Amino acid sequence: MSTLPLLPLLRCPYCRDAFTFEEVAGGPVARAEFGILGCRCSRFPVIDGIPILQRAPVRMLEHTLAVPQTEGIEIAELVAMLEAGRTREALMRCVAYADLPRSWSQLLGWRLSRGALGSWLGRSRGGRRFAAQVVDRRDVASAYDVLRAYYASGGPLDPALGHYFKHRFCQPRHLAALALAQCISSDGSRAVLDIACGIGHLAHYLAHRRTPAPAVGLDMNFYQLWIARHWMCPTAQFVCADASEGLPFADDSLAACVCSDAYHYIGHRDRLLAEIERCAPARMCVLTRVGNANVMPNEGKEEDLESYRREFNCEDLFIFDEDQLVRCYLEQSDPLSQEPREPSDLARSKWLSFVWHAQRDADRRTHLAEASRPHAVGKLEINPIYECRQTSHGDIELVFRFPGVWFAYENHAMLSYLPRRTMMTKEQLAAVAARPDSPSLRELINSFILLGMPERFGSFPCNPHVAPVS
């Protein structure tokens, strides 16, 4: 019987029982634990270090309505594969998607291409392609390589979501989340939970800031967690589960909870709020970019401001709009010390953020004073939103380019703090690699020309033809 780092923290979301863990040899494909978690009601798989604690099949889900984009695999089938030692097959069924070319579909006809034969052919071809592009070269592939494999044109996943993940480090919504996430403290004895964590942008910040917090990410999309666990934030832990069904953690086990850009998509939120209070009683909770139903367009299960107030039912509730938080971030001010906005102003804002059970002012000021710029946490890289052209003198010219129309619509506020065109000298380029704390880089960091990224996210060299994820 082996151990799983998360094991003491985990509880079954259905029966609340603690788990036992039976490890399975992962073989050459493994970079973390494979095995089976057992409780009194169920058996759940652990695939490459990620427990899957849900009863729904493992699928790739559309990120706003959770509509399946792929065929998926049942939990019992994954458990059976692990029991038989078929770990590579179990991993591939979780991370690869079927790829049946249009020409094959036309040849097979409508019925066969959508039946058992078409599914088998598409899964076989897609698995081989994904294995060659990612799994068999995972030790040298970057997160950007994996994103390109998933969000290629013609695949089942929306290429616009690839832009979202690649460029999230400098989006207004991420700066708003960082403005509040940097106020979360942890003594290291309990983890901070990132609900609907995606590929782990916030977990990366929490785990790598100057006063790091143990981070646990939770999401329904296994393939995103796989990117987070092995490319974005290997020091954090991740769990595949549906937050609307209950949090798979022990009572009083979490230091704080954060949920960015997802709360209004989650069902059974009364249950989720009760679970947050169970796992992190009277501790800080941060919800950012929550949609206001009174401002179009609407997505998910949005409510108006007063309905959210009643939903949270907190006396110590802080409410912000996204523009206010971005300003606080750019000005390096504490958002929780700001004068509260008028409710009539907030009611007209599309994107709201909420905080309750905030840390005491003295604790928060001490923590903020120690923090570096959150967007610089990690390995300094040139912001991939820029196209780079090298000059004859060895300097580079950087030109801002939105990767798509929808991205520009959602993130036009980036133009207020990112220069449209700028230069980096060859000396600054050398300092990025050799002396990342050089004073000559400070202005490039402050203007978001340089961003802190995970070690394995990917470098974006001087190349006018660097392509966005599409």
- 272 within domain boundaries: yes
Among 154, 181, 200, where does a domain finish? 154
- 469 within domain boundaries: no
438 in the same domain as 304? no
Among 100, 129, 154, where does a domain finish? 154
Write out the two tokens for 19. Answer: 């788990």
Contacts of 311 (CB under 8 A, 6+ apart): 269, 270, 273, 303
- Taking alpha carbons only, the member of 336, 327, 324, 332 closest to residue 286 is 336
C-alpha angle 58-201-364 in degrees, rounded to nearest 5: 125
Q: Which domain holds residue 399?
A: 379-453
- 194 within domain boundaries: yes
- Chain-centroid distance, C-alpha 444: 25
Contacts of 302 (CB under 8 A, 6+ apart): 264, 290, 291, 292, 293
Among 114, 129, 154, where does a domain finish? 154
Q: How many CB atoms lie within 10 A of CB 257?
A: 27
What angle do helix axes 87-95 and 116-133 make, rounded to 10 degrees?
Answer: 100
- 430 within domain boundaries: yes
Res 165: pLDDT: 96
Count up the domains in the chain and report the number: 3
Res 98: pLDDT: 79
- 463 within domain boundaries: no
101 in the same domain as 74? yes
179 in the same domain as 134? no
33 in the same domain as 108? yes
- 34 within domain boundaries: yes
194 in the same domain as 135? no
Q: How far is CA 79 from CA 151, 200, 408, in A?
A: 28, 26, 43
Res 370: pLDDT: 53
357 in the same domain as 268? yes
pLDDT tens for the chain, 470 residues long, are 458 999 999 999 999 999 999 999 999 999 999 999 999 999 999 999 999 999 999 999 987 778 888 889 999 999 999 999 999 999 999 999 877 566 555 565 555 555 666 565 667 787 899 999 999 999 999 999 999 999 987 778 888 999 999 999 999 999 999 999 999 988 888 999 999 999 999 999 999 998 899 999 999 999 999 999 999 999 999 999 999 999 999 999 999 999 999 999 999 999 999 999 999 999 999 999 999 999 999 999 999 999 999 999 998 999 999 999 999 999 999 999 988 888 889 999 999 999 999 977 666 665 565 556 999 999 999 999 999 988 888 899 999 999 999 999 999 999 999 999 999 998 898 888 777 778 889 999 999 999 999 999 997 654 433 333 33
- 458 within domain boundaries: no
Radius of gyration, alpha carbons of the chain:
22
Write out the two tokens for 24. Answer: 């399975």
User: What CATH number did the domain enclosing 264 receive?
Assistant: 3.40.50.150
